[in-house]
Structure 1
């Protein structure tokens, strides 16, 4: 029954009963007798109490919907309000849930387009760094070598220092290009890319222990890229902000997909710590593939980033971009350029 008919029926029943009692055993004298006052006041109190109960029960789903709307966040999906109550309220809650699903799908699509454009720009910058800046620095190294061979003895030390600085700059350019474009991910697959990522951070002062379990289910190129980028961002945050000297990187099969875990022994997250751009970027990437991301304090100390990604369903096989390949296998020509 709709809320309108509930309230109308209750009030109608109350008025009919009051009219029947006034026409029957209950009378009102002039002046009013004390017994008549008690009957009228008691009937009015009973009618108001029943009205209050019906309204409280009927409007409770709207109150739950209001709390859910106030706490709604597409990057932190929570439980949806239960469809219950009168017809109008149930339809409103169902419409709100459908709106959340539509907004989440639209945000995932827009995030996918933005991240795809970002990956294309990263690949372009990486190519220019490697082809333009890298080749220029290599030419400078060759010229410095020729200068060093012909330079006087008192200038060779300075030329050697210039060679070392140029060589360090060339190595830094190559490192940045590798981070912008994870070629090892496209060529050797996700486990090898994560091992290379752990080794890279270990070489720069953060000891990263990797635990990559065998038997990973088939993953789409998009899922592999999201897992890699989340691991990269989590280790970058650890190296920059946590003050940790040890970190762990693990990837293991889960009942419905895979689970990525990045933890450290740093300062951890405080109760009032606000999420920065890095964490929100990880949540955007998780939303892109429908994964669950949790960021919080570890069991003892430090920070833990956990990402649970689901394997594609049978319905995804028709989409060539979502066609999975075994993790660790080289991509085909159709997937090697996917962002």
Structure 2
């Protein structure tokens, strides 16, 4: 075997005989060198909104299974702190429903914001509710403190701990800039139980949270989601189905954003994964993919010599 003589510098110099094939490894350990980060190699911390933690963990697991030299540590944010965690340097990327404000973008121009999935704000009612659908105007009136004649005595409910949804609604387009006003239940599960027992209650919740509660058997069976109609005369009510959320016909859609700093190799690689292969994983979970996946159908043609 070919042998090399190599001196490793320390406080007490010593000469060691080593195999030539291990020279690169020893050089790296003695000089403090390490494998540089790349889009598919390295380690990063990803912080996610509380309701997006399971989705983020699933995507991280798939990514690292496909690229074993990468390690993505997923942590849940407290309340509204996913974006703050990224801005303060406690994480390298964030998955959140809260996109940075224009002011934040000016202060940190290197911040990359990429929409990767869609969620929706939905209205849940008891199966015996007199409502078959609800209009955008009725949603505005019910959840902004306004009441119209003939509102059927609707009882608007929201989970008090659903801070992300409150942030999306408060002063947003759905409420025409007005403050959110609804009766607060202590948790989403309590709100769903309340709706299940009151035919006049209307709960507001993120579709992903409702889907997750159903999958975990935490939502009562006697619930249904309302279709929502636009205010235009003759507009058909639209259900919050994935297709309607994807094509924009359902009115209350929220984008899930992946945020990171440009120039960061592994966060950029993970973002590319979410925008490509990760779209299928979103399709199989409580969220809706941001874009329609292209499906290729291969038709086998008959050979020219085959009879017609």
What is the TM-score with the length of structure 1 in the denominator?
A: 0.23
- Structure having the higher Rg: 1
Between Structure 1 and Structure 2, which shows a larger proportion of strand residues?
2
Between Structure 1 and Structure 2, which shows a larger proportion of helix residues?
1
